[in-house]
Amino acid sequence: MIATSTIYRAPPDSGSLVLGRSLPSLLDEACNHHPNEQALNQWQNRNWQPLSNHDFRTAVEECALGLLFLNLQRGDRVAFVMHSDIPFCIADMGCLLAGLVNVPIDLTQTIENILFILQHTEAKALIISNLELLNQLLPHLGEAVMLQWILVVEGIGEREEVLQDDEVIGKTEEDQQENNQGCLQLDETHVMHSAKQSAFLQETVLHGVRILSLQEVRQRGKAQWSEERLQQLRSAIHPGDLATILYIASETKQPKGVMLSHENISANILSAFSSYPNLATGAEEVVLLFLPLTHIFARAFFYGHLAYGHSVYFSDPAHVMRHLKSVNPTFMITVPRVLEKIYERILEQGRRLSKFDRAMFFWALNLAQRYEVGQPLSRLYALRLKLADRLVFARWRSFFGDRLKAFISGGAALRAELTNVFAAAGLPVLQGYGLTETSAVLCYNRGTYNRAGTVGVPIPGIEIAIAEDNEILVKAPFVMQGYYRDPLSTQRAFNSEGWLHTGDLGEVTPDGFLKITGVKKSLFKLTTGKYVSPLPLEQELMRSPFVSHAITVGANQKFCGMLIFPNLAALQQEISQIDPNSSNPVPLNPESINLEQTESWLQHSCILALYQSLIDAANCHLPYWSTVRKFKLMNAELTIENGLLLPDGTLNRVQVLETFAIEIAALYGESDRGKKEDEPDAAPACVYVPPAECPVYAKSLTHY
């Protein structure tokens, strides 16, 4: 039920809703009305290599016709294991023009989940960035029984040249898999760039699957090119057609696929862009895009920038700081963690200044911390800000070039302090909110509608209501078609009146801004924008007799942590096996342990090692960003009477998080950075703790 009859919509002077558009039509509109010789730009050979939107459209058309020449049919699924670059965009739009459904897979996913997605969608083709990624997947691709084609963008040598050019440090090399069976059927061996690579593939598995380079697909499409054929493709696309399936974290170890149509995405991003005050078209707007295109946030924004004819420069998290000055963007979409890193770097540089300059720096910083976005300034405060800008803030801004209009922050909650400090320094941060299920944007701050600590006001076409339990409910033309092959989850996502349950808690401020106040669902987001599913972790831990309860934490933090409530009775049996000569002695006779001694007992290095082994086992089969990096053993009693357990015996998440907020905050303290919580300096050999082993296929893909 909805708590109030009030439904919140976009302000009356805030853009317009545009329906009935396919995604390829956005590219056509840009080419016809906003031609741009530098529409897409890729860093390669120590320089930015531009591609006009007309040349991009030609590449897309060739790709579309080439894919159909491979006997792929409208509605067939094509999976991507690709870097976020121009080839991704060509493959993406090529699939959409051909009427194919693309399935971009996050490069940080586990190999196990990649295989699940290939099987679940019955993908007939896999487009992959390079042979190094393919090398990791090939030993397991026999499970993808519907797969017919593997299309490779570039060879190993090409990718290594780019990486060396960008001076990437810490590149990992996977050992070549041995003892593979069967034979891979090669179609065009010129995709290989050495006899060694060709020999490797010929020795590797897969019956009936053919390999081509993406360039060869385009060449085949070029041979099929005609105005009449392309017009047929465009006419065959309907706005309601399924465009893409995006897999996100679910309540289980396996991800679930969100189905989005052409109109879901096009209407969403056009509405969002139309509501931004004075947004220019053409090359006047320059965008640095470094977030993964496998997520709807970056991908939807790319479509918007494409439609408006903007210049887009593709970077990545490892190089974005280096590319900032050379690109000199007017806009940059980001996640809170990047802004946190920038802020941390600014503070670190301030601490290294000379005594006089340091005093001036922190005077300006203190001034900025008092700033409140959207609030009037006193005359004296405004004068002080102007002086601070001349002495300090101008140097901050110079790091980002001289024309940045705004950071657009999404993916997770952003601290109000950062919004205010950056705004005071002349670097506006506009926080927004959305879900994959809503095709990206629901609300965002812009123009005069900007308040720190909120996610702004709705975009045109959105209806928002607050339920009795404060859950945010949504209706819009942007809401997903459902979860792929999961009617039960789809049914649960909507109430009887057609409102989508977001799983987030919120309130609307008196002046009409949406504020996120908590999370109702078990899933939560890190400041990196990654979704975490805590239940698989907790369920794995609670299989152990040494764990009574466990709760995964980390909402709006950098990484996952965990509070573990041990089964003290089981531990008392285990304590007798601990070495009495340990560097961290505790009473070894279980009968002698009392409540006063329990706290120090839980810090024993062998006890911590035991629980670390349980954590390691639970981390297996999960993407690296979803794993627990720190944990704390809790000496606390959980009961229904104290409100920490629900009547069914499960944890009351909201109450546990509130009760142990101090302990959770301690997990994210800045001290002993890089060290596991309570990790002993010199742990004794605890031979009774079995080593945790995780198979390669259950780990995250190594993305080069």
The pLDDT tens digits of the residues spanning 84-106 come to: 999 999 999 999 999 999 999 99
Same domain membership, residue 563 and residue 445:
no
Same structural domain for residues 507 and 575?
no
**Domain end call among 460, 491, 525:** 525
Compute the mean pLDDT over every residue in the chain, rounded to the nearest whole number: 86
Same domain, 462 and 502: yes
pLDDT per residue as tens digits for the range 349-380: 999 999 999 999 999 999 999 999 989 999 99
Residue 18 lies in a domain: no
Among 169, 202, 237, residue at a domain's last position: 237
Chain centroid, CA 209 distance in Å:
31
- Spatial separation of the C-alpha atoms in residues 139 and 201, rounded to whole Å: 11
Residues 489 and 367 in one domain: yes
CATH classification of the domain holding 662:
3.30.300.30
Least confident of 10-19, 25-34, 167-176, 240-249: 167-176
Query: Is residue 188 pLDDT above 80, yes or no?
Result: no
Residues 605 and 486 both lie in one domain:
no
Token pair 């629980």 in the structure block, residue: 611
Give the residue, 201 or 64, on which the prediction is more confident: 64
Residue 631: the pLDDT is 95
Of 597, 610, 590, 701, whose CA–CA distance to 292 is shortest?
Answer: 701
pLDDT tens-digit series, residues 545-580: 999 999 999 988 989 999 999 988 888 776 655 544
Task: Supply the range of the domain harboring residue 68.
Answer: 25-237
Say if residues 501 and 493 touch (Cβ distance below 8 Å).
yes
**Measured distance CA(583)–CA(332) in Å, rounded:** 51
What whole-number distance in Å separates Cα of residue 567 and Cα of residue 254?
29
Q: Is the residue at 270 inside a domain?
A: no
Domain count for the chain, please give it: 3
Are 506 and 577 in a shared domain? no
User: By three-state DSSP, how is residue 370 classified?
Assistant: coil
* pLDDT band (50, 70, 90) for residue 670: low
Residue 330, pLDDT above cutoff 70: yes
Q: Which CATH number does the domain housing residue 488 bear?
A: 3.40.50.12780
Note the pLDDT of residue 155.
63
Same domain, 359 and 456: yes
Q: What angle do CA 483, 412, 244 make, to 5 degrees?
A: 30
Kindly state whether residue 208 falls inside one of the protein's structural domains.
yes
Q: Is residue 8 part of a domain?
A: no
Q: What percent of the residues of the chain are helix, what percent strand, and what percent coil, each to the nearest 5?
A: 40, 20, 40
Is 591 found in the same domain as 469? no
Please tell me the predicted confidence (pLDDT) of residue 253. Answer: 80
pLDDT for the residue 5: 63
Q: Of 204, 237, 270, which residue constitutes the final position of a domain?
A: 237
User: Strand order of the sheet with strand 210-213?
Assistant: 185-186, 210-213, 149-154, 125-130, 77-81, 101-104, 242-248, 256-261, 482-483
Phi, psi of 199 (to 5 degrees): -65, -40
* Phi, psi for 79 (deg, rounded to 5): -90, 150
Mean pLDDT of 334-342: 92
Lowest-confidence segment of 155-169, 276-290, 576-590, 596-610 by average pLDDT:
155-169
CB of 529 within 8 A of CB of 297?
A: yes
The answer to whether residues 113 and 224 belong to one domain is: yes
* Amino acid sitting at position 594: N
Do 156 and 32 fall into the same domain?
A: yes
CATH number at residue 59: 3.40.50.980
Residue 206 sits in the same domain as residue 225 = yes
Task: Determine, yes or no, domain membership for 633.
Answer: yes
User: Could you give the CA distance from residue 247 to residue 516 in angstroms, rounded to a whole number?
Assistant: 24
Q: Token pair 């898999």 is at which residue?
A: 177
Distance (Å, rounded) from C-alpha 567 to C-alpha 574? 11
Decide if 684 is inside a domain.
yes
Max CA distance (Å), the chain = 87
CA dist 103 → 96, 243, 296, 301 (Å): 11, 9, 12, 18
Count the residues in the chain: 704
CA dihedral sign, ordered 297, 300, 303, 308 = negative
Please check whether residues 656 and 693 belong to one and the same domain: yes
Confidence of residue 4 (pLDDT cuts 50, 70, 90): low
Residue 312 lies in a domain: no
- Distance in angstroms (rounded) separating the CA atoms of residues 45 and 161: 8
Residue with tokens 């400041």: 527
Beta bridge partners of 630: 561
pLDDT-derived band at 704, boundaries 50, 70, 90: low
428 pLDDT above the threshold of 90: yes
DSSP conformational letter for 393: I
pLDDT at 180: 29
**For residue 190, is it within any domain?**
yes
